Amino acid sequence: MDREKALAKNTFIIAIGTFLPKFSSIITLPIITGGLTKAEMGTYDLISTLVSLFLPVATLQIQSAAFRFLIDVRNDKKETNRIVTNIIAFVLPTSVIALAILYFCLGNVAIVVRWLICLYFFTDILMLSTQQIVRGLSNNKLYSASSVAISFSNMLLIVLTVLVGKQGLVGVLSSITVATTIGLILLLVRGHILSQIDFSLLSRHTLKEMLSYSWPMIPNSLSNWVLSFSDRAILTAFMGLEANAIYSVANKIPALFTTVQGTFVFAWQENASLASKDSDADSYYAEMFNSIFGILVGIMALLIAATPILFWLLIRGDYKEAYYQMPILFMGMLFSSMASFIGGIYVAHKKTRSVGITTILAAACNLAIDLVFVQRIGIFAASISTLVSYVFLTIYRMIDVQKFQKVRFNTVRFILLIVLLTLMCIICWINTLPLNVLNVIIGCLIAVIVNRKILKSILLTIQAKMKE
């Protein structure tokens, strides 16, 4: 199977495990926004933020090493067992220690909520680790199946606990904890993870090698946290939980785009790693960047055009201010996607330190803008800082990656499409019916024209299949 077909296959498989869960998130969004008060919504978002901050420190990001190192030894059963054993042996005790620390750090939180947060944290660590193991072993179907199981279990449980049971924040936390546990059990059983554990294969050398790869990802993850979530912490500190709730809701629809990004990045990391030693790696990376950028621009154009109707359909409660943050956040998500693409090239070459450095610089940019402008322009400071920091990260990586991989980016096309999307965002922000209709037309034209070769190829394939 050639690289393009392999990437398409992996992307499709992972997409199933990404888009179907997002469908459940769309269903539960009105339930959560309607069933939680603004204060509870802000608290829930803050809890998610803090857990995501704590997790990479607790695991030293060794789950990322599981994926990358297993790619190189897929055909060697003994070596795969060695890596799996060392991963599990490291994650279990460190997660227990981290759990105890987290419990005491949450001393001012209600006891029920505290226990639910800790249980979710523990199951999430184990689930993420096992997911990376099955990905590293090329079992993307199981990876997607676990994501689907978690999301649909969570959807059902939220309906029962929040909509029917009126349990509010406790109901949401209970649902995600139980759902994550279900996904973990599926991974352990169907992935035969436990049968691969052989403690005679414990190796200080193997563990040291994996940790040498993974520890630089800690500052990268923390910096990603700053890029993704520090806005909310700063908004909460300076403007209160209700401002955080508005910003959180503003991110819900742009997050649909990050779903697309995450789907591709997961598949791309594998293909980029496998292609890193090929003689045509330079041209392959450039071709993929331009192709994927076109696809994401097309999806972005359609999402921006659909934003007024999506906001009306999905958001409940007094969140009008959130709408005006969305065009800015949409552009931020696009640049985040491009930065993640280039990040896949860093991972392929095991340049984790460079990944960390570039992300730290972008995070510093994000924090500086937030702290300087939050008291002057309010919630807009968070949105603008997100956009500017991801623009910086993308451009910096485009330049920095040339040190070890000569990738020729089509900068003229890149700039032109960014300008067109910026125009669509402005129209979306104005939000009048005639202009919204115009935006739909522009969005459809961009999506079709930019991806005309891909669409033509799909049509020809369909025609050939029909003739058969």
Average pLDDT of the residues in 363-385: 88
CA angle 286, 291, 297 (to 5 degrees): 125
The confidence score (pLDDT) of residue 440 equals 92
Question: Residue 22 — pLDDT band, cuts 50, 70, 90?
Answer: low
pLDDT digits (tens, 9 = 90+) for 434-444: 998 999 999 99
Question: Residue 18 — pLDDT band, cuts 50, 70, 90?
Answer: low
Lowest-confidence pick of 189-203, 255-269, 310-324, 335-349: 255-269
Q: 451-459: long-range contacts (C-beta < 8 A, 24 or more apart)?
A: 451/294, 451/295, 451/298, 454/291, 454/294, 454/295
CA gap 353, 406 in Å, rounded: 19
Average pLDDT of the residues in 230-236: 81
The confidence score (pLDDT) of residue 182 equals 93
Three-state DSSP class for residue 188: helix
The confidence score (pLDDT) of residue 1 equals 47
How much of the chain, in percent, has pLDDT values that exceed 90? 10
pLDDT digits (tens, 9 = 90+) for 86-136: 988 898 888 888 888 878 877 777 788 888 888 888 888 888 889 888 888
Tell the residue number behind the tokens 């697309």, with chain if given.
Answer: 260
Burial of 383 (0-12, 13-18, 19+ CB in 10 A): buried
Does 145 or 138 have the greater pLDDT score?
A: 145
How far lies 3's CA from each of 12, 14, 136, in Å? 14, 16, 17
The confidence score (pLDDT) of residue 422 equals 92
**Token digits for 304?**
């921006």
Question: Residue 421 — pLDDT band, cuts 50, 70, 90?
Answer: very high
The confidence score (pLDDT) of residue 203 equals 85
3-state secondary structure 210-247: HHHHHCCHHHHHHHHHHHHHHHHHHHHHHHCHHHHHHH
Considering only CA atoms, which of 364, 357, 68, 395 is closest in space to residue 219? Answer: 357
Does 255 or 414 have the greater pLDDT score?
A: 414
User: Would you say residue 272 has pLDDT above 80?
Assistant: no
pTM here is: 0.71
Q: Cα dihedral sign for 377, 383, 389, 392?
A: negative
Q: Please name the amino acid found at residue 444.
A: C
CA gap 413, 419 in Å, rounded: 10
